[in-house]
Structure 1
């Protein structure tokens, strides 16, 4: 457990992403053609990094991304329900353009500590998502593999990064981060964002 490397990536694009709609945990679209292409591109970035296993959110978009990568790299994919996207409550399925001017949206997007417990009606707070994601990743410290992939979602990953003091406003489809654990110390860096 002295050293682990996690390659954490956001799933490829879905039609909801293209349409500017919030998917959250309650909507489960598949990857579109661009999303499949992003997963293949991500595979080539990950190929030389020595990843031995992928843990994935159960939602189709993340699981499909993980399965494409796993199939091409000949490594197993295991579903972990705690890697699921955040629950955005009443805003799931809504168009960004319809909610971005609301006070609630501004509170959600604010990454300052005083807003970490904010939640949309019926949804999870950033703090709850952060705690869930960090517990899931921390549990993987006990696994035998030293290099692990994690296929998850924008808000889930960005909330996890808050645990390490990293405030990320955006995380594009197919973006990749490296999270390293070394003798009790965590460090994180962005590897690539090929979507722009």
Structure 2
């Protein structure tokens, strides 16, 4: 059996400004660096044996800070990268709604086929994210693995496991942001506990 904890990378300036990041490789801001260090202090007690991380700089920095605090190694998997938001990257959702009326609503109506212009579909994110998890189960059997990744990746995995086929980016409130969620793998992936530990702000 493999146990997984999964968290979102710490904050960047674009997170604070509510801009869509996607594949833009934005580094952590000062607040984010402090948050990652705090995650390290919190997660010391969870007995993780290694970290599997997105290689994007915001996730990489988060992982490196946590790993130094805990004293564990990091492996990187490209399949844990954030969703490609295409022409929406660097924009705010409110501005897109104002400048291109109806375009977000059209995509939201597509559910798991949601795909920003010139970007990547939610189904594609789910497929590669589960591939990363399955790879980790093959390599790290009997380990307790911390996964550091991105918002769309986390939501895709967890809402799929909850069989929520109507998931859209703006309309899901079950998952609390900046929380540790716990999963287990024993022949299949299962949710152990949602919103298990909160990053204190």
Bin the TM-score by the shorter chain.
0.7 to 0.9
1:17-62 Cα distance to aligned partner (Å, 9 max, x none): 111110001x111111111111111112211111111111111111
Moved more, 42-51 or 61-70: 42-51
Aligned twin of 1:29: 26
Structure 2 contact 179–199 (Cα < 8 Å) conserved: yes
The Cα of 1:104 is off from its aligned counterpart by 3.2
Stretches of structure 2 that go unaligned for 5 or more consecutive residues are none
Distance 2:107 2:40 in 1: 32
Structure 2 contact 108–114 (Cα < 8 Å) conserved: no
Secondary structure at 2:36 match in 1: helix
Moved more, 76-85 or 93-102: 93-102
Aligned twin of 1:45: 42
RMSD of the alignment, in Å?
Answer: 2.0
Secondary structure at 1:163 match in 2: helix
The Cα of 1:108 is off from its aligned counterpart by 4.7
Aligned twin of 1:7: 5
Aligned twin of 2:94: 97
1:141-160 Cα distance to aligned partner (Å, 9 max, x none): 11235100111011111111
Aligned twin of 1:122: 118
Provide the TM-score with structure 1 as the length reference.
Answer: 0.87
Q: How many residues are treated as equivalent by the alignment?
A: 189
Stretches of structure 1 that go unaligned for 5 or more consecutive residues are none
1:79-126 Cα distance to aligned partner (Å, 9 max, x none): 11100000011101112220246433235556xxx5211211111111
Distance 2:97 2:50 in 1: 37
Question: After TM superposition, which residue ranges in structure 1, 4 or more long, deviate above 2 angstroms?
Answer: 100-110, 166-172, 182-185, 192-196
Q: Indicate whether 1:192 and 2:187 are aligned.
A: no
Secondary structure at 2:42 match in 1: helix
Distance 1:106 1:78 in 2: 37
Q: Indicate whether 1:106 and 2:111 are aligned.
A: no
Secondary structure at 1:23 match in 2: coil
Distance 2:108 2:30 in 1: 29
